[in-house]
Structure 1
Amino acid sequence: MDNVLDEWNTEILKQQIEKQEEHGGTTSLVTEKKMMPVCFSIPSSCFCFGQVRRIILHRDIALKIKNLNENLDEIAKQRETYNFRFTERMISEQPEREKTSSFVDESIIFGREQQKEVLVSKLLNESSQEERGLLVIPIVGMGGMGKTTLAQLAFNDENVKACFGIRIWVCVSDPFDEMKIAKAIISGAKAVSPNSDELEDFFQCMSESIKGKKFLLVLDDVWTEDQRKWDRLKLPLIQGGAHGSRILVTTRKQEVADMMGAPTRTIYLERLSEQNCLSIFNSMAFYNRDKDGVLEAIGEEIAKKCKGLPLAAKTLGSLMRYKKTRKEWQEVLNSKIWDLEEVEQQVFQPLLLSYFDLALTVKRCLLYCVIFPKDHLIDKDYLIELWMSQDYLYSKGNTEKEIIGQRCFDNLVMRSFFQDFEEDDNGNIWRCKMHDIVHDFLQFLTLNECFTMEVKGGNNTIKPLGDKIHHLTLMLAPKGPLSCVSFFGHKNDLRTLATFDSKFTIVVSTLILQLKHLRTLKLSGNSIEEFPEEIGELVHLRFIDLSENYGLKKLPKALCNLYNLQTLRLNMCWKLESLPQSMGKLINLKHLYVGGCFELKYLPKGIGRLTNLRTLGGCPFGSGKDDNEAFKLGDLRNLDQLRELWIKIVGEVKVAAGEGEKGSPLENKQQLSNLIILIVWEDGERSAEILNFLQPHPNLECLVIKAPNAIIAPNWIMSLNKLRHVSLKRCEVLPPLGKLPSLETLWLWEMKGVKKVGVEFLGMEKETSSASSCITLFPKLKRLRFLFMEAWEEWKEEDPNITIMPCLSSLGFYSCPRLKTLPNFLRKTPLQTLNIEDSPSLARGCEEGRGKEWPKISHIPNITIRGKFSGSNFEDEGEAIVEAEDDV
């Protein structure tokens, strides 16, 4: 049904766009805010199309609606025939939650010794900062990771037994039943529960049963995030228990740890090593029998499938205990893990509980992650754009879908569905991976809807697939055409086509014509040099990624007929020379990426009409093209929804007559948070002029500038009071950044004219510095890096009464060969990390115990001194593209 409605809405949109173009409308076209999409009814009298075209459209839609009605009638008949009833999913239908106890067999536990020591230490150590005698310690991890086991180990530790007069174990699970928990605590304290139905009576009895006693309470498998329930339970425990009492909580949800006010005391369980997994596997598989060399070798490979998950190792080991022959073991090794009944019943059980706890929208978003291969590094923003393309991110109000997507991502992070996080300099997760067992679990749930195929050998023809497959991933395809024979039989409802680690050279047009319902097309990293015009037939497309097709020179004009397109990714298409002139018709486009397209010298004029754009990455200016053809700096003025903007100045930029009087084209963009400006020519004076013309709104948070030989920094930089991240490259002078109140991260690159860093950099005048002891400079700066500062010789000492960088935690010097000394104020900073690379003079001065600079840095716990520069710390996508542009 959604396909039919989508086609109707698209046709309406197409007619309106064509009508406005016929009447010479160039400043703006219909936007999603001006057109209410059809959801249930389909009115026809309110649209003035051409008569013939309208009749044809109505006929086509009517036929499709007729078919839908026939299908619904057939479903209704079958419901009556088989006496199906409408019903809501009941809690009883969900997987049964296993009850736990405090007893544990330590002989089959491996790899948790260190975590046990840490946990026992937290339980036993007294702290002057304890909150009224009761400390909460959460253990967080995905299902099957061993949270309960770790709690059992600590609970039964002899030192813990000696420390706590009362030890109580409660299996909480879901729902969070306060009465049940109170009864369990009373019973564990060897008291008698009251003969009452009032919660107050149970809480009173619970508090009395532990009064004056130092207790350890384990709450195993907590799910609730209800602060009120937690506070009601905790208060009588605080009032009753003695100082030093502890509550140990196991949970899969980070939100639970946060709700309990214990994020800094949380223990996060990580995967076990392969060796520890193998030890668990062997202890179960070879229980009460001699080891067999052949079976051991196979078992080692089977254990690798567990990917560090203890429950999986235990389950597979138990399965193999009753298999005696090499053939039986080999069958398990060669099988897909979700085909094993024991895995489905035991390993997937805890994951199912976590899955059922998710909201419907988050469930759909999680299931879609199965399109990525195992061990794939998932970009958060990329993933959110994919979710948007499938219309998973529904909003009742005005909340943007990107924000809803961020919430869904955070929710999945909090529930331990993702791991191996990579964070930006502000501590925000921007890339992650998914555990292989979680991936197997999702494949199990989406078996009839998602399909991953390895295209082996030289045969790139896709085999026939089932009618219900909606999302197809192709992997490891060698060079050759992406074609099809009997792709989906009589019914094709494919919504996603994605390739990974493939080298397709051409997309055959007959394949495109079979993908009429496609919403997401990911063909990045292939060897495609041209794309068929038939792409314009795929009216449902929301997302296209052709990045890293290095030989792709142009895009088909028909691309501009994709009125629903939201994301177009073309990063690193090195030979791409131009975009279609009618790009202005893509009025729903929100994200356009063209970074690293070295032959692309300008964007078409119509880009200025795309008022829904949130991201414009790698936008080139200065090609010399006529104003009527090329998108100019002044055209940015209309794009008020921009959040991220990457500008590349490739040649002489002339500000059109009257543009200067209008002010900066960026100054009214209140939503703009990230701005990258890359200038590739060497005229320092003109660079400064352009930078000053591009003054952003004060709401800007991240600024990256590469401006070779710019004589001065932009005069507006000190007005950006919300600026958190700054990266400046190849400027001639250091701007006075010390008074920026929100600055947290600062990178300074290749400033060849800088020989001395002093009061100007701090944002103070020389004559006033000694009288400014009450001023704090760089008040929030946490991370500071100097890179390739080849002429820099001196970091000048300042007045010791001035407070400088009181929050600095990380400092790095990379290829600063002439710098010899460090300022004294570093002694007073809370530095945790110091990196010195390829800076020999400074390295000698910082030699431990002997160097002259050592007293200034001896308080820093993590000091790394290397002789060669390493660039592995700079992972940000925008920075990476700037660097790639620079290298070429």
Structure 2
Amino acid sequence: MADALVSIVLERLASVLEQQIRQQVTLVVGVESEVDNLKSTLQSIRAVLGDAEKRQFTEELVKVWLERLKDISYQMDDVVDGWSTALLKLQIAAENPGIPKPKISSCLPSPCVCFKQVSLRHDIALQIKDIKKQLNAIANERNQFNFVSSSTIQQPHRRITSSVIDVSQFCGRDADINIIIGKLLGGSCQESSSLYIVSIVGMGGIGKTTLAQLAYNHEKVKSYFHERMWVCVSDPFDPMRISRAILEALQKKSSGFHDLEAVQQKIRTLIADEKFLLVLDDVWTENYELWEQVESSLKGGAPGSRILVTTRNENVSTMMGTTYKHPLGELSKEQCWSLFSNIAFYGRSREKVEELENIGRKIADKCRGLPLAAKVLGSLMRLKDNKEDWESILNNEIWQLDVIEKHLSTPLLLSYYDLSPAVKRCFSYCAVFPKDQIIRKDRLIKLWMANSYLNSRESIEMEKTGGDYFEDLVSRSLFQDFDRDDEGNIISCKMHDIVHDLAQYLTKNECFILEIDDEKEVRMASSFQKARHATLISTPGAGFPSTIHNLKYLHTLSATGMAHLNTAKLPPNLFKHLVCLRALDLSGHRLIMELPRNLGKLIHLRFLNLSNNLIRGELPETICDLYNLQTLILSDLLITLPQGMRKLINLRHLEWEGSRVLMLPKGIGRLTSLRTLTGFPIIGDHFRRDVCKIGELKNLNSLRGGLVISGIAYVKDAEEAGEAELKNKKHLHHLELEDFGRLASAASKGVAEALQPHQNLKSLKISNYDAATEFPSWIAASSLAQLKKLEIVYCAQVTCLPPLGELPLLEILIIKNMKRVKYVGGEFLGSSSTTAFPKLKQLIFYGMKEWEKWEVKEEDEEEEWRSVMPCLHSLITCECPKLESLPERLLQITALQKLHIIDCPTVRGGIDLSKLSHISQVQFIGRSDSIASSSCMHSRECKPDSLRPKECISCWKKSTIMLPRDETNKFFIIPGFSDESMSNYDACVL
């Protein structure tokens, strides 16, 4: 890890000297030779760091030497960053004549090395000389250790293209899974009202959580329990946090409760007479009083409810009153080999497997039956192509070090050693996250970026480099429990607690997680004094610790989700002391209403998250003094951005998901580094003249992801709209165009034409396109060849749908509230292909009040000569009161699995339910007269009591209820129910 820090400093030294030359400014004179000496010394030290890092586990003096080197590297980084920032200030002042020129003595880089505040130039020169002196002493000391020098630097691997393997099918736990599932599903006539608890007990890395996940996600388990909740408990055991997690799992949304009794009362209400499964993963506490506070809210479920616990400690299992305890032992030799080999030999030829199998079996034996070890070692060997590399791992001296067994997993350490210095640094930084915390990939990469771990002198995006590093760690099984987006990309993950232990060990005295107690102020131990990264975790009633300012060397401070603080007021001098901060996360406090004005003193700051607070109005202008800021996150706020935003020339990500940003200040277009801009609200000149116009999008061609442009009605004409040059934004994949409402018909069409996006666009939403009678011509196959999702909402004057069937990759189409459309036919399908909508999977029509007729061919077409929507999986029509029928051709599509007809009362005669046998889910929701052909259904009478509450989706105007088929009857029908008789039931599913 020290080698990564040294590499960062070397890159920064070279960069700042180039910056001085480029700007033709000699801010610091007479230090060129000092800097050259620093670089030379650092390069010679870096050559021995590979050997030093391996020896630190057995030689305490080497470990101390490395700690000193890391400390001086951090100091150098702070000084160089201050130097770079001072140059940046001069650059911004030159480019913005209206901004006062900065005083040369007002921008001290940091107090991280204490000198008198004389002048910036003199101060930096003195600091560099002092650092050189300390570094020379460290360099001289290395000679006593006789380190082995290496001239090569390990680079990140790029071999693997599919980095994540599903190992569940060969985890070697089939018998254990069957037993656990049997205990979860099995009932007993002797089952009492007390909680039925199943505990999985075993050592760390043995596979307890994996076994629980396999049981939790088993299809039989999913269909048996009405409610399923998964809560990561870990240590400490916090009844409030755990109860809120249970409630949020039940509600499928965040909880606004901050009182334990209120939370638990809501839980009791939601699980009353419901059969539920609750998984409490990684329980450590043996304190029954703490467990009792959670247990008391879980006793009202229906018989058959279960709690599944994973723990390392048998005493925990006993304390919780376990009904059945399942001890989990090591894998057998063959099971371990199966797990290892399926990962290590993934994608290899038979010849290669035969060549490496004997060595592989010997390596697998060293896993000692631990699934985590087999998984990590298998992932490591998957990166090794030749026999020599495999033998090197097998014979590595680290297997002989007894000290390793006391602290760490040897396979994990081998995997860590195989990382490049840059990826090592990124991995160890993850110690800043509490155990079991969900880690968002994009947020993690931005934090790495804020700490200068992704700097590259090549023309590679830092975010791309961060993504590659993340994938490298994923490929080695150092991350797990992935969540993915609709396209299968990883969006979040977790770390196994043993992997987290390794990261913590590597960052001892550097990364801390501090628990804030309501009984006493946080005491900062002496070991905290040089901490660089800290996360605060609070308990109810605690206050923000005033002593946090003692951690004056912090680079990262995360104090998120502390909404139950006794006071959310920040210590007044907090930012006066923590001036080395690179990343500050204050999200989720909810009670913070304003920010201290001295926030602008954090000149090193690159990441700032203020989401989910009660900040209102204009953000303080001092934020615009944060010239290094790369990421600003303002989600769920009601704010106006300050006028000086144009000064934040390094800003790459400006996010405000869920916020109402009232306006963007003039000059946003100068932020050409922007990669993320959540929205672009446009307001009229008669409101304010100091706001940006749509033309400021012109130079923001690095924008990625999604962009919402709202208030388009305030765009004067097509010429002004064209200044945005959306067609040049090739990295923009999601676009929303909103609020054309005030424009006249011709102007609206012209503005829309001028807002043509790049052909790489994948998702488009057009809403409130009220005045124009037709859509822009670019909604066509030639202009949107990559489009996968299209949503058209509130287009009041349009009478005819465009030829969307020609879009070759369109998968999702949503059309809402087009009030004047009466007919949908061949014009909708288009005419340029033998297949209309070749990739469409989901089609939704909603609120089409005047729609009467739907055909899937031209009116004068005699034969159905082409395929229509062959991939259609889901068809939904909702609130289309005049629609007469659905096209029979669509209902016969073999891929169709979901048909929902909701509140379409005039659909009559055209649906023969006997021909829908291939559709697994059919829903008719509305009045009984909405289905004229109900007599053709198989039916049998059933009483409301036989229904399970809350088993299906929302239903209104209930009078005909259709239920899931069984083996004998295709459909169940319950005729004649009134609203009152069905008031407790949420669903009707056919």
Q: Shorter-chain TM-score category? A: 0.5 to 0.7
Deviations 1:98-122 (A, max 9, x none): xxxxxx999995116899xxxxxxx
Change (3 A) 1:220 1:477: closer
Unaligned runs of 5+ in 2: 1-75, 101-108, 110-115, 155-169, 182-203, 212-334, 357-370, 385-401, 858-862, 927-951, 956-990
Shift of 1:65: 1.3
- Pairing partner for 2:533 from 471, 475, 478: 471
| Alpha-carbon separation, structure 2, partners of 1:221 and 1:2 | 41
- Pairing partner for 1:704 from 765, 770, 773: 765
Shift of 1:617: 0.9
Please tell me whether the aligned partners of residues 841 and 872 of structure 2 are also in contact (alpha carbons under 8 angstroms).
yes
Shift of 1:792: 4.9
Change (3 A) 1:687 1:356: farther
Please tell me whether the aligned partners of residues 571 and 594 of structure 1 are also in contact (alpha carbons under 8 angstroms).
yes
Shift of 1:385: 1.8
- Pairing partner for 1:367 from 424, 428, 435: 428
Could you say which residue in structure 2 is the equivalent of 1:759?
A: 826
Matches within 5 A, 1:297-312: none
Please tell me whether the aligned partners of residues 718 and 754 of structure 2 are also in contact (alpha carbons under 8 angstroms).
no
Matches within 5 A, 1:858-873: 858-861=917-920
- Pairing partner for 1:15 from 87, 90, 111: 90
For 2:94, the aligned partner's letter is K
Could you say which residue in structure 2 is the equivalent of 1:624?
A: 685
For 2:636, the aligned partner's letter is M
Change (3 A) 1:678 1:480: farther
Could you say which residue in structure 2 is the equivalent of 1:2?
A: 77
| Alpha-carbon separation, structure 2, partners of 1:231 and 1:536 | 61
Deviations 1:123-168 (A, max 9, x none): xxxxxxxxxxxxxxxxxxx97549999xxxxxxxxxxxxxxxxxxx
Please tell me whether the aligned partners of residues 534 and 558 of structure 2 are also in contact (alpha carbons under 8 angstroms).
yes
Could you say which residue in structure 2 is the equivalent of 1:221?
A: 340
Could you say which residue in structure 1 is the equivalent of 2:352?
A: 233
| Alpha-carbon separation, structure 2, partners of 1:533 and 1:89 | 48
Deviations 1:566-603 (A, max 9, x none): 111112212x1x222111111011111234433x4321
| Alpha-carbon separation, structure 1, partners of 2:578 and 2:469 | 28
- Pairing partner for 1:564 from 613, 628, 645: 628
- Pairing partner for 2:643 from 566, 569, 581: 581
| Alpha-carbon separation, structure 2, partners of 1:82 and 1:418 | 35
Deviations 1:773-823 (A, max 9, x none): x61112223343445556655542435331122333444556667667443
- Pairing partner for 2:601 from 517, 537, 541: 537
Could you say which residue in structure 1 is the equivalent of 2:653?
A: 591
TM-score of the superposed pair, with normalisation by structure 2: 0.56
- 3-state DSSP class of the match of 1:525? coil
Change (3 A) 1:223 1:105: closer
For 1:556, the aligned partner's letter is P
Deviations 1:684-709 (A, max 9, x none): 84655543332212222222232253
Shift of 1:501: 3.8
Change (3 A) 1:74 1:551: same
Q: Does 1:72 align with 2:135?
A: yes
Matches within 5 A, 1:93-242: 110-111=176-177, 144-145=206-207, 221-222=340-341, 230=349, 232-233=351-352
Could you say which residue in structure 1 is the equivalent of 2:837?
A: 778
Could you say which residue in structure 2 is the equivalent of 1:184?
A: none
Could you say which residue in structure 2 is the equivalent of 1:716?
A: 778
Please tell me whether the aligned partners of residues 743 and 771 of structure 2 are also in contact (alpha carbons under 8 angstroms).
yes
Please tell me whether the aligned partners of residues 611 and 639 of structure 1 are also in contact (alpha carbons under 8 angstroms).
yes
- 3-state DSSP class of the match of 2:471? helix
| Alpha-carbon separation, structure 1, partners of 2:536 and 2:452 | 23
Could you say which residue in structure 2 is the equivalent of 1:735?
A: 802
Please tell me whether the aligned partners of residues 458 and 480 of structure 1 are also in contact (alpha carbons under 8 angstroms).
yes
Please tell me whether the aligned partners of residues 516 and 542 of structure 2 are also in contact (alpha carbons under 8 angstroms).
no
Unaligned runs of 5+ in 1: 26-37, 39-52, 92-103, 116-141, 150-215, 238-248, 261-340, 765-771, 872-888
For 1:779, the aligned partner's letter is P
| Alpha-carbon separation, structure 1, partners of 2:905 and 2:378 | 46
For 1:672, the aligned partner's letter is L
Shift of 1:555: 1.8
Shift of 1:626: 7.4
Please tell me whether the aligned partners of residues 519 and 540 of structure 1 are also in contact (alpha carbons under 8 angstroms).
yes
Change (3 A) 1:801 1:253: farther
Change (3 A) 1:106 1:558: closer
Shift of 1:634: 1.2
Please tell me whether the aligned partners of residues 462 and 484 of structure 1 are also in contact (alpha carbons under 8 angstroms).
no
Please tell me whether the aligned partners of residues 474 and 500 of structure 1 are also in contact (alpha carbons under 8 angstroms).
no
- 3-state DSSP class of the match of 2:649? coil
Could you say which residue in structure 2 is the equivalent of 1:519?
A: 582
Deviations 1:402-435 (A, max 9, x none): 1222223333444444444443333333344445
Could you say which residue in structure 2 is the equivalent of 1:130?
A: none
Please tell me whether the aligned partners of residues 567 and 590 of structure 1 are also in contact (alpha carbons under 8 angstroms).
yes
Q: Does 1:397 align with 2:458?
A: yes
| Alpha-carbon separation, structure 2, partners of 1:492 and 1:55 | 21
Say which is worse superposed, 508-517 or 860-869, in terms of deviation: 860-869
Please tell me whether the aligned partners of residues 713 and 742 of structure 2 are also in contact (alpha carbons under 8 angstroms).
no
Change (3 A) 1:404 1:494: closer
For 1:740, the aligned partner's letter is L
Could you say which residue in structure 2 is the equivalent of 1:281?
A: none
| Alpha-carbon separation, structure 1, partners of 2:877 and 2:430 | 39
| Alpha-carbon separation, structure 2, partners of 1:694 and 1:398 | 30
Deviations 1:309-333 (A, max 9, x none): xxxxxxxxxxxxxxxxxxxxxxxxx
Could you say which residue in structure 1 is the equivalent of 2:187?
A: none
- 3-state DSSP class of the match of 2:560? strand
Change (3 A) 1:841 1:698: same
Please tell me whether the aligned partners of residues 768 and 793 of structure 2 are also in contact (alpha carbons under 8 angstroms).
yes
Identity fraction in percent: 38
- 3-state DSSP class of the match of 1:500? coil
Change (3 A) 1:113 1:62: same
Deviations 1:677-736 (A, max 9, x none): 232857684655543332212222222232253543333221221222222222345432
Change (3 A) 1:59 1:236: closer
Shift of 1:832: 6.4
Could you say which residue in structure 2 is the equivalent of 1:875?
A: none
Could you say which residue in structure 1 is the equivalent of 2:738?
A: 678
Shift of 1:528: 1.6
Please tell me whether the aligned partners of residues 624 and 652 of structure 1 are also in contact (alpha carbons under 8 angstroms).
no
Please tell me whether the aligned partners of residues 874 and 896 of structure 2 are also in contact (alpha carbons under 8 angstroms).
yes
Change (3 A) 1:363 1:222: farther
Please tell me whether the aligned partners of residues 680 and 707 of structure 1 are also in contact (alpha carbons under 8 angstroms).
yes
| Alpha-carbon separation, structure 1, partners of 2:715 and 2:174 | 74
Change (3 A) 1:605 1:626: farther
| Alpha-carbon separation, structure 1, partners of 2:560 and 2:209 | 37
- 3-state DSSP class of the match of 1:717? coil
| Alpha-carbon separation, structure 2, partners of 1:844 and 1:252 | 60
Could you say which residue in structure 2 is the equivalent of 1:659?
A: 720
| Alpha-carbon separation, structure 2, partners of 1:649 and 1:105 | 51
For 2:622, the aligned partner's letter is A
Say which is worse superposed, 81-90 or 398-407, in terms of deviation: 81-90
- 3-state DSSP class of the match of 2:536? strand
Could you say which residue in structure 2 is the equivalent of 1:852?
A: 912
Could you say which residue in structure 1 is the equivalent of 2:298?
A: none
- Pairing partner for 1:505 from 531, 544, 568: 568
For these two proteins, the number of residue pairs brought into alignment is 634
TM-score of the superposed pair, with normalisation by structure 1: 0.61
Please tell me whether the aligned partners of residues 684 and 708 of structure 1 are also in contact (alpha carbons under 8 angstroms).
no
For 1:572, the aligned partner's letter is D
Shift of 1:19: 1.8
Q: Does 1:450 align with 2:511?
A: yes
| Alpha-carbon separation, structure 1, partners of 2:820 and 2:579 | 58
Say which is worse superposed, 834-843 or 408-417, in terms of deviation: 834-843
- 3-state DSSP class of the match of 2:727? coil
Please tell me whether the aligned partners of residues 744 and 783 of structure 1 are also in contact (alpha carbons under 8 angstroms).
yes
